[in-house]
Structure 1
Amino acid sequence: MRESMMDVDREAPGAPARPDVVILVHGTFAGPKDDTDDEPGDAWWQRDSDYCRWLRANLPPGAALPDDVQVFRWTGHNSQVRRLEAANRLLALMIELEAQGRGYHLVGHSHGGSLIWEALISAEVPRTHGVVYAQLRRALNDPSVRLAPEPIIPLRDDEHAPWFVKHKTRYLPRTSEFRAIEAAIQLRGLRSWTTVGSPFLRYLPARRPAVPGWGSQALSLRPATGWRAVRRQLLDLLVTTTITAPFSFLAVLIVAGAMFHARWPGAVMHSGVANALALPVVLCWAAAYWLLGAQGYANTLLARERAAQRAFRRHAPRWLGLWAPTDEAINVLSASAPTGVDYEWLCAPADRRDRRDFGAPSDPVPLPRLRIRAPRSATHLLPDVVRIAPRRAAVPLVWLANRLLEPWWRRRIAAALHGMAQGSDLPAAVLAFASPWPLPLRGARTVTGLPDEVAARLADRAAGQNAALGPALRELLMAAALDGVPAAMRGLHGSLTEAGAMVHTSYFADPDVRELIRLHIERTCTISRDTTAGPLAAWLTEHQAAVAARVAAFAVTPPSP
């Protein structure tokens, strides 16, 4: 059932009038040095930072930084797998706050914002399916996010059993577990969520044999209906039957032989026909087993993407996305994603739309070709080296390798480097979209992410800082010559990550960005309401109205074919 965009519970029933909790979520490469680093550091998200001190002094009476909740931390690795893992932990923390009846606000920078978004999607999936999945159950037992002495849902006995254990009941749904979080998974206590300079990454299944994925005209984010749904169910039934048929046949033979005391089942099993069919049956079974797993994985990615649409309709009224047009991380990731297919086209039924050209990834990395070192007789030394070089016999082999194999390994290495830069380590998945919006809607970039003067000020500050880096780079080259490259690289990293060196890292140093975050929290917190007037408050009102109009258009208007 389609939910209205304004169907948002602003307060949990019976919630006490106590200050809301503000949770800060850092991004990639901004995590603690190690898992035991509990010291109050000076990073923007840590308790001793300048930004946290500013928040304590300027937050409205209805919101506060928590003293009884640990600072949320995650590894900060450039890895989508690690981000999904951290999103489950963040969702567990949100459920713990919901269980205590506390309102909360989430503020994330860079991939910290996309981590918040993944947590909201992870909440929408069990909310819709009515199932508590194993990953969420494990996150609820993580001591770093648990607030109560006892977990809301305890671990099962075989929670961490190895894959070869036959009875893995941790995957079986239990109604009692979902009832324990049924009220909390609605996330009624989420007052606001703010993302700052966040590149939102949308992953879709890769195209594989008999699996519609990225590059296939049959790929659609709309669930199949009518004959297409029946055809999909028949294909699944065929695959399942292919997997189970050999075992069913063997079971029938064994049972028949036992019941009738007949010898013909054994004769059939040892006949020449059975021996001839053994290998094809095994190969067919292995192919069907692989296909079933590939389809299940692709369906999981598509189900998560459909849950993202429902989650955005529910939570968009409480979202504030701040980003500058010159943000380096957003622009680089957006340029690295394929182009040519817009999101609305993917949301249309596959049989009611025109054909589109799926964009290919960026150009391959210009890797060097395989070469043979010059033989000793061709080194131009005086006196001459007169020797026979056996290496010359490998020249035709190298030519063949560069002719036939070089394009293949160039694509493979380029794809590996490409995925490493993106942090794309989900298997059999393609980073299809990277956008400053949680959903990469058409024309979303026309809704500005910051007032024009604030965005221009951030860009000018970064340009001035980069101009000042010239002398520093010369000093680093001297340090590399005198003290070694590692010491110089540490200095270079410190210079580049200094506030203002990049737009992406300078948001929280800008007073207007801080004030926009505070205004958004003030307007949505439980106790206080916004009483502030001024140009920033007016921009915030216009921005949220533009976001609401764009989301409503996506929710109501069917995609054009």
Structure 2
Amino acid sequence: MDGETDAAAAPKLITVHGTGAGSDEAQRDRWWQIGSPFMIALAERLKTPSEPVPFQWGLGDNSEEARRKAGAALLKTVQEEEKQGNAYYLIGHSHGGSVIYSALLHATRSGITLPGLMGWCTVGTPFMDYTPNKRMWQRMGEKSLSVFVSGVFAAIAAVIYVIFGLIDYDTATSAGHEYVVAGVMAGYALSAFLLLKLLERMRRKWFDRKHKLRLEEQFGHQWLGLWHNEDEAIAALSNVRHVYGDLVPPSFLKPAILVVQIIAVAIIGLGLINLVEDFVTIDDPGAFLAIFVLVALIVIAVIVFLIVWLISWVLKKLLGALGYPLAGWINRIVWRSVRERSWGDDIGPEEVSGVSANPPDFKREFAPLPEVVAAPLRGHSDRNAISTLNKVRRILGMAQGEKVSPDLRGELNDSLQWDELIHTSYFDVPEFVDLVALGLSRAGLGALRDGFVLPKSERDALETWLSGNPTLQE
């Protein structure tokens, strides 16, 4: 497709926003919207500007279920373009790239071909590799899990009845009855298991490895993967699986000893005082009574101390022994919840086995952005980070001497522009737009404008990087 193509036949550039970047408006200043600075800059570089078509998936929830639903919806959108005979190119930022990947997985699994697809580009996308949970019960919903549990209990009951039958070997009638019950229970357990396996095969929603390999075979040569080696989202989501610490220390149960000590002192002390009162009569002489009470109190104090010390020592050992496994269990649950919230992992039957800048099981991989693009992008983020840090410093200094405490949380939130992060700054850097324009041009979306001249060093570096990636050599 050359620059002489008229506007009516111009390919569509379907843009897909990332997590939390959605909007009800299709035309504004965000990179994926019509008329955005990025779209204007891109049009200045290509002879035949593509028609931008924003694909919106709500606000972009951090949810794998939402991303897959969006992927299915995106597939329907491109199928409409296919029906109209339109050529189109997909570009997505962050988890917008995950939505594109999901759409192509849906197409691959359903055997749908997309001849109108000119290519697809992911920008700073953290690809998460979902695999089915290893244990069958972890892949079940509530209803299936109920059937599974009943089958397990039936299997246990069958074993118990067999044991009873062996014990009652001298009573043939009784043993025969128990074997019949055991057979019924075992039959139910086996039927429940087979039924659940059959339903799982019929309802299976996850994408197998064969689908991922087929996706690469069908669409891999059209992929352009752009990512910075310091992208915060990719690094954070990749490394969070290795983050672990003792949020709950093994000694977390030991404060309970103090409560037990207070209760023990009160109970034992009152009990001993009541015991002493039984030996005291109203006829006792005053001096003798005073001495007796004093000695009794001393004895009570010693006895209470010894008993409480013994109880505390036993509790310390017991709670210490219980604290290690309980703390480990609680920490694992907490960190697993942190990982799942970070990943948006809300797909019950599956779990995240890895996070990468390249799609799962792809043999072809894109290297990080060349330094001619990476350096300006890094510099852009650094400059904005320094500016924001100065704002934060001034905001934190506002509290001193103020009669009314300022809304520090609101002030800090307003000071963040998200230009401080590389992950959210790609489309603001001219060198990155240059690279996207070159990639689109190589995909057939039009030649570069005659007036758009890159410095030779930059042009050579970008061309070398694009040519050096295996996805573009075929």
TM-score of the pair, normalised by structure 2:
0.69
* 2:30 maps to 1:43: yes
User: Aligned pair in 2 of structure 1 residues 519, 403: CA closer, same or farther (>3 Å)?
Assistant: closer
Match of 1:197 among 115, 118, 124: 124
User: Equivalences for 1:285-324 in 2 at 5 Å?
Assistant: 285-293=191-199, 301=206, 303=208, 305-324=209-228
Equivalent in the alignment of 2:373: 454
Q: Partners of 1:374 and 1:443 in 2: how far apart?
A: 59
Give, in whole Å, the separation in 2 of the partners of 1:289 and 1:480: 65
Contact 1:25 1:112 in 2 (8 A): yes
Change (3 A) 1:408 1:491: same
Name the stretch that deviates more: 80-89 or 276-285.
Answer: 276-285
What amino acid does structure 2 have at the position aligned with 1:23?
I
Paired residue for 2:293?
A: none
The reply to whether residue 30 of structure 1 matches residue 14 of structure 2 is no
* SS at 1:504 equivalent: coil
Q: Name 1:74's counterpart in structure 2.
A: 58
* Cα deviation, residue 335, structure 1: 2.1
SS of the residue corresponding to residue 503 of structure 1 reads coil
- Is the Cα–Cα contact under 8 Å of residues 62 and 522 in structure 1 kept in the other structure? no
Deviations 1:314-339 (A, max 9, x none): 323322211111111111222235xx
How many residues align? The count is: 386
Q: 1:56 to 1:205 in 2, by over 3 A?
A: same
1:433 aligns with 2:354: yes
Could you give the per-residue CA deviations for residues 42-89 of structure 1, whole angstroms, max 9, x where no partner exists?
3222235322333444443262224xxx65333311111111111111
Match of 2:87 in 1: 103
Deviations 1:497-533 (A, max 9, x none): 432x01111111100111211222233336x345777
Q: 1:496: how far off?
A: 3.8
Q: Does 1:64 align with 2:51?
A: yes
Q: Is the 8 A contact 1:201 1:434 kept in 2?
A: yes
Alpha-carbon contact 1:28-1:78 (below 8 Å) kept? yes
Gaps of 5+ in 2: 140-147, 152-176, 269-307
* Distance apart, 1:296 and its partner CA: 6.5
Contact persistence 1:24–1:45 (CA under 8 A): yes
Q: Given the superposition, is the C-alpha separation of residues 210 and 373 from structure 1 closer, same or farther in structure 2, using an over 3 Å criterion?
A: closer
Partner SS, residue 40 of structure 1:
coil
Q: Which moved more, 1:112-121 or 1:93-102?
A: 112-121
1:362-383 deviations in Å (ceiling 9; x for gaps)? 435633453336747989xxxx
Residue number in structure 2 paired with 1:546:
468
Q: Structure 1 residues 189 and 376, CA, compared in 2 at 3 Å: closer, same or farther?
A: closer
Long gaps (5+) in structure 1: 1-9, 128-184, 213-238, 243-270, 338-360, 380-384, 553-561
SS at match of 2:115: coil
C-alpha deviation, 1:20, in angstroms: 0.8
Q: Give the whole-Å Cα distance in 2 for the aligned partners of 1:324 and 1:514.
A: 14
Give the 3-state SS of the residue equivalent to 1:285 in structure 2. Answer: helix
Would you tell me which structure has more helix in proportion to its own residues?
2
Q: Please tell me whether Structure 1 or Structure 2 has the larger radius of gyration of its CA atoms.
A: 2
Shift in Å, 1:98: 0.6
Q: Does the 8 A contact of 1:333 with 1:434 survive in 2? A: yes
Distance 1:187 1:275, change over 3 A: same
| Contact map agreement 1:106 1:194 (CA 8 A) in 2 | yes
Letter paired with 2:373: V
| Deviation (angstroms), 1:126 | 0.8
Identical counterparts, % of pairs:
26
Q: How far, CA to CA, are the matches of 2:459 and 2:214 in structure 1?
A: 28
Equivalent position SS for 2:135: coil
Within the alignment, does 1:278 sit opposite 2:184 as a pair? yes
Alpha-carbon deviation of 1:110?
0.9
Q: Does the 8 Å contact 2:246/2:331 carry over to 1?
A: yes
Q: Deviations over 1:148-169 (max 9, x none)?
A: xxxxxxxxxxxxxxxxxxxxxx
The one-letter amino acid paired with 1:464 is: R
Alignment of 1:420-499 (within 5 A): 420-439=341-360, 444=365, 447-477=366-396, 487-499=407-419
TM-score by length of 1: 0.59
> Against the structure 1 CA distance between its residues 48 and 306, is the aligned structure 2 distance closer, same or farther, given a 3 Å change threshold?
same
Q: CA deviation at 1:537?
A: 4.7
Which residue type is aligned with residue 420 of structure 1? R
d(CA) in 2 for partners of 1:308, 1:386: 64
1:399 Cα deviation after fit = 4.4
CA distance in 1, matches of 2:344, 2:137: 27
Question: Structure 2 matches for 1:503-522, cutoff 5 A?
Answer: 503-522=422-441
Residue 325 (structure 1) aligns with: 229
- Over the aligned positions, Cα root-mean-square deviation in angstroms equals 4.1
- Measure the CA separation in 2 of the matches of 1:537 and 1:121: 34
Which residue of 2 is the match for residue 388 of structure 1? 266
Change (3 A) 1:123 1:484: farther
